[in-house]
Each structure stands twice: as C-alpha cells, then as structure tokens.
Chains A and B, each alone.
Chain A
C-alpha cells in the first residue's frame, strides 16, 4: 500500500518546457493542503506522443515510469491529463493482462525494473476530490471568489476513453466544476463544454486545431465568463498562449484570461497573484481582479 498524502509528482514534458505557472501554483496549493510531493527519482516521457507511431514504445515508456514509482513505493500524481491518462491506462492494461505484463517486463528486466502493479496514478483533480475531499479543499478557502463567473475546460484525457479514464462522466463532468465552486466562484455551463481544444493535432495541421479553440472561445465568451479554468498544460497553451494568434487569424476579440485551476484555488486560499505565477500568463488577467475587488 502506498502512503497517504504523499505522492511522486510526475511533471511530464510540456510543463517544464512551457507551463511553469501550473507547476508553481499546484505545488503551492498542495503544500497548503498538507500533501507532500516527492520528485521522480528518474523520468522519461509518459509515452503518449509515441503511441500514434508505435504502440509498443508507448507501453514500455509508461511501464518504465510505473516500475520506477513502484520501487519508490508511492502513488503518482500528475498535473497533465495526457500523462495521467496514459499511465492510468497502461497501469490498468498491465495489471489485467498477464501475457502483456510478462512481455513488457522482459524489456524492463535488462535495467533492473519490474512492473508488479502495486501503485495507482491520479490526476491532480482526482487527488483533490477523491483523496483529500471537497470539504478539506473548501476549508482551505479564506477569500471566497464570490464575484467571479468562470467557465471550465477539462481536457479530453482526464475524461476519455471512459473505460480507462473512468473517474468522471465525460458527457457531464462534475469534478472540476465542484472544485471551482468550493472557491466561491460560479462555474457557468456553455455549449460543447467537454469538446477537445484541438492541441493534439497541432503538429500535423496548423489551422484546424486553432479553429477548434476559436469555437470554444466563442462559446465561453457568449456566456459571459470572466475567465476560463483549465487543468491541462496543452489546453492552456491553446487558450492562453495562442489566444492572441487566434484573435488575429479570425479577426476576433476575446480577452478571456485562462487560469490553471490551482491558480484559482490559490487566490481563494489567500496567496498573492505573484506567489501563484500570474505573471507567466499571456492573456491580461486584470479583469479578474477588477471583478473580485468590486465586492
């Protein structure tokens, strides 16, 4: 049994590459909630980017991380849904399929690793809702964000495929919404809420993914959201980093600030925007503070 309130943090590739604010704010709020994070003793990419070209390569890469975590005796916490989706799926596959497990273990054997299936993998949202509980998260709120009206975007790989993601309803996801609501903010419904942001197709096509993001931004703007809340580094890049580009490309004007969920929670916990790395965000966030300060 892995220890409680202590996790190996699996950062993945996109977060250290471009999305520091997510990591900074997540570490900040988790520490406040009494969660201890241990760094991965060794790391390789979760394997997801290689699945399209070589399924076996993905399986081995994921299994190698799982085996490293097993040696450390800790459950994995990921911030990236791509990583959690992949590691969770492979963990399930290898636990259930003896033949596959034996085959992958042949690959790991040469470097002194073995997959035995002794740990679990959870995304940040799952840790907050399932392991800590909404009440505990709520009790950490000292400055409720009651004047804020926001929208959420889960990202596909925390929700689908349902069979392996399996902790929230992909047709009507509730976890992120309830986590937003405990901060005191209102979470608005909007059209095509659980639809893809387009990020995974960025490398192969430079227009379609931006059209998807634009479509979502239109729906988000139409319901009057003052900010969008994400829990995925890739979705965040689509909405925040690329928002200016989308505005130019399609002659639109959004100005929708995009926060990582722990930045929102951190504000409600009383952390300053500086401590939560708001300076790293691309879209101007001042409208959030003018809304909140009008209380």
Chain B
C-alpha cells in the first residue's frame, strides 16, 4: 500500500505562486492561514483522515501556504472534508482549518473544478428552493400523514436575490 509520502511528486519552483497565501488571507475564513505552524492536530483529529489514504488537512494547508495553487485547487481530496469543524475547534493557532478548506473549494469552483453533486444540488435549489427534488407523491403523502402543506419557494424571487453569485454561471451552463 502506497504511503502518502511516496505518492507526492517534487515541488518545482515554476509551480509556486507566491501571492496565493495572501489571496487566501484576504478572503473571509482564510485570514489566519499563515498562523499554521504544521503541528498536525487537524489531521490527527480528523475523522475522514482516519479512513482516507489521501485526505490530510495539514497537507492541504501546507500546499496553500507554499503557493501550490494549481495542485491544491485541482485535487480531488479537497472535497472529502465533511465540514465537521473538529479541526477548527482543536487548532491551537485558531486557523479555522475547515473554513480555509471552504475558501479553497470556492476558489477551485471558480476554476471549474466542481464535483457533480454540487451542480445537482444547486440546480434543484434554483428549480424548487429545495436541495433535493422531492417527488410529487411524497409531497401529496404529507396530507395522508397529517402533515401541513410543504412551504413553497418563490424561485423567481430567489434567483433575483442571487444575481451577484458566481456559481450561478456554472448552473446556467449546466442548464444549457
């Protein structure tokens, strides 16, 4: 079984984007990226890292600090975080690790690296207000179960409030 270390390729100086860490530090949630001194508390307390061969929050933070922008943003492991916030609560340097990962995921999205599931959730939200496509039968069944009518979403209204949102561009592309 390959260890994490052996899978790593050497860092080339051409890969390094020196401004990347400052770019992240300016985005809400990423402000304290530079506080990380690589103690590894995040990884040792991470429930996903326990079962994943590749997901290591400390490593993601280090890649961001080093400026390995393309490598970290195109990495599939970035999307494994369960957002349980254990790392954020345990970090002795207050790095808000889960929020840094969210910032990186948002940046990855802007570069077009988006797991399909988020496009599906987003399309469903724009169509119905709900993240899942709730079958008509299940909505009708509520009455038989004695439950009130499910609140509706004014989707036109919702889309209007989201007009400045970057991600809509990808959902529009999907809709085409």
Contacts and interface: CB of A to CB of B under 8 A. Distances in A.
Contacts of B130: 13, 16-17, 43-45
Interface string B146-176: 1111111110011011111111101000000
Given A17-B132, A44-B158, A198 B82 contact: yes
Which one of B121, B131, B153, B166 has the highest number of Cβ atoms from chain A below 10 Å of its Cβ?
A: B131
B149 A44 contact: no
Interface stretch (A141-149, A155-163, A240-248): A155-163
A50 B147 contact: no
Interface of A: 11, 13-14, 16-18, 20, 23-24, 27, 39-45, 49-57, 60-61, 64, 107-108, 110-111, 113, 156-157, 160-162, 170, 195-196, 198-201, 203-205, 207-209, 211-212, 215, 277
Nearest to B83: A200
Contacts of B132: 13-14, 17-18
Contact of A57 (B29, B129, B134, B165): B165
A50 B115 CA distance: 12
B150 A50 contact: no
Sort chain B's interface into a size bin.
35 or more
Nearest to A10: B151
A215 B165 CA distance: 39
Interface of B: 28-29, 47-48, 50-52, 79-86, 88-89, 96, 98, 102-103, 105-106, 109, 114-115, 117-118, 121-122, 125, 129-132, 134, 138-139, 141-142, 145-154, 157-158, 160-168, 170
Contacts of A51: 83, 102
A108 to B, nearest CB: 6
Given A57-B165, A160-B84, A161-B88, A45 B115 contact: no
Q: Which 3 A-B pairs have the closest CB atoms?
A: A203-B117, A160-B85, A54-B167
A70 to B, nearest CB: 15
A56 B165 CA distance: 6
Contact of B47 (A53, A60, A205, A212): A212
B153 A42 contact: yes
A34 B138 CA distance: 28
